């Protein structure tokens, strides 16, 4: 893998393979790519299900996909490999996979952090390939669009990190915050825990619950500090009784004299032309602020805010589908940029209501 990925002629398609296609994120990548007019899905891997049809893991794709799972060791050359492997697994295969494709997108956390010294704190291991970290572009197009264009290596962002970074970055970039700190409360649906069952995701244990997940030290904190322009982030996460979705509520104290018009201006300047970020702040109705329920299956991030003039506390709400904008959709958006496609191609689904 050398140089840059090259734009593809308007009448050509690229071949894409998915490494780790039996999980929820991999299944979403496959669902999106099957409807993408510029992509042919070549192979999908699963060690556990090798030889079985993809629809055995993703029954929603019946009559849409006739592929069988293969082993990652049987992947053939293609234009792009999207890795949806568990954290740490991609590190074992990265060097070989780079010889098979012109581009690679890794949706795991293996290459998200630029400083190798922080991996032991947040992920509990010394990074075995520290030289690769600066070669990967952090895959949030709203922040790194020009770097992603033509890149060969892109890493996906964490789901909590994506929602939080998009919420906070305009406030700190435009100097509206009083200091360099933010308190973030995040709520996550059960699919964020992945497909492998465990006691915390077992339905009788989770159903009806609102369970503290990571009161402190959530690993996505490191990404927010790296990308949002804020040095102190206090992130608490809670598991809620839903299948899809993330809602983060951020608390930032703004400088004296900052008004709602100033906040509007900052978000409009940053996101007014963004295809997948919507500012949601209505006067009436049940959806006057962001709600992940209506984002299911979509690549949108909805952001809303409220300024308390009595305390200068700005409350920012950000909602995404954790499997799409928080993983697969963000990856496909990056893929479109890498190969010179329209950035929105294959990602037009608006979400469901009710």
Residue 339 gets which letter from DSSP? T
Annotated catalytic residue within 65, 78, 155, 159: 159
Cα dihedral 230/232/237/242 (nearest 10): -10
Residue 303 and residue 280 in contact, taking contact as beta carbons nearer than 8 Å: yes
- Element spanning 315, H or E: strand 313-320
In 15-27, which positions are buried (b, 16+ CB within 10 angstroms) versus exposed (e)? bbbbbbbbbbbbb
Nearest to 353 by CA among 301, 304, 286: 286
How many whole angstroms separate alpha carbon 237 and alpha carbon 304?
Answer: 19
How many whole angstroms separate alpha carbon 130 and alpha carbon 115?
Answer: 8
Residue listed under structure tokens 């009083």:
178
Sign, CA torsion 162/164/167/168? negative
User: Catalytic: 159?
Assistant: yes
Nearest to 60 by CA among 319, 297, 328: 297
Beta bridge partners of 121: none
DSSP-assigned letters across all residues of 205-242: HHTT-EEEEESS--TTHHHHHHHSS-SEEEEEEEEES-
| 94 Cβ neighbours under 8 A, 6+ residues apart | 104, 106, 110, 129, 132
Residue 238 and residue 188 in contact, taking contact as beta carbons nearer than 8 Å: yes
Residues with a catalytic annotation lie at 159
């Amino acid at each position: 893998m050398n140089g840059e990925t090259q734009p593809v002629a308007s009448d050509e398609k690229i071949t894409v393979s998915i490494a780790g296609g039996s999980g929820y994120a991999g299944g979403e990548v496959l669902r999106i790519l099957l409807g993408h007019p510029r992509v042919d899905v070549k192979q999908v891997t699963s060690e556990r299900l090798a030889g079985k049809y993809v629809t055995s893991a993703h029954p929603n794709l019946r009559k849409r996909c006739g592929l069988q799972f293969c082993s990652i060791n049987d992947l053939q050359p293609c234009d792009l490999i999207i890795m949806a492997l568990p954290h740490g697994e991609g590190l074992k295969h990265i060097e070989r996979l780079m010889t098979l494709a012109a581009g690679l997108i890794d949706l795991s956390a293996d290459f998200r952090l630029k400083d190798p010294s922080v991996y032991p704190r947040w992920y509990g291991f010394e990074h075995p390939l520290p030289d690769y970290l600066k070669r990967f572009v952090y895959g949030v197009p709203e922040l790194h669009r020009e770097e992603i264009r033509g890149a060969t290596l892109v890493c996906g962002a964490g789901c909590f990190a994506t929602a939080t970074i998009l919420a906070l970055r305009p406030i700190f970039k435009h100097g509206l915050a009083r200091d360099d700190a933010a308190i973030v409360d995040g709520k996550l649906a059960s699919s964020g825990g992945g497909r492998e069952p465990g006691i915390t995701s077992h339905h009788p244990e989770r159903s009806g619950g609102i369970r503290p997940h990571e009161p402190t030290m959530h690993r996505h904190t490191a990404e927010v500090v790296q990308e949002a322009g804020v040095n102190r982030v206090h992130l608490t996460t809670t598991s809620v009784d839903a299948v899809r979705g993330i809602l983060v509520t951020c608390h930032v104290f703004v400088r004296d004299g900052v008004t709602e018009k100033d906040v509007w201006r900052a978000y409009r300047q940053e996101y007014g032309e963004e295809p997948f970020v919507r500012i949601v702040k209505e006067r009436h109705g049940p959806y006057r602020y962001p709600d992940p329920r209506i984002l299911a299956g979509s690549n949108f991030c909805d952001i809303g805010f409220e300024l308390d003039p009595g305390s200068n506390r700005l409350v920012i709400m950000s909602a995404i589908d954790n499997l799409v904008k928080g993983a697969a959709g963000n990856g496909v958006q990056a893929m479109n940029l890498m190969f010179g496609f329209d950035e929105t191609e294959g990602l037009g689904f608006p979400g469901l209501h009710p």
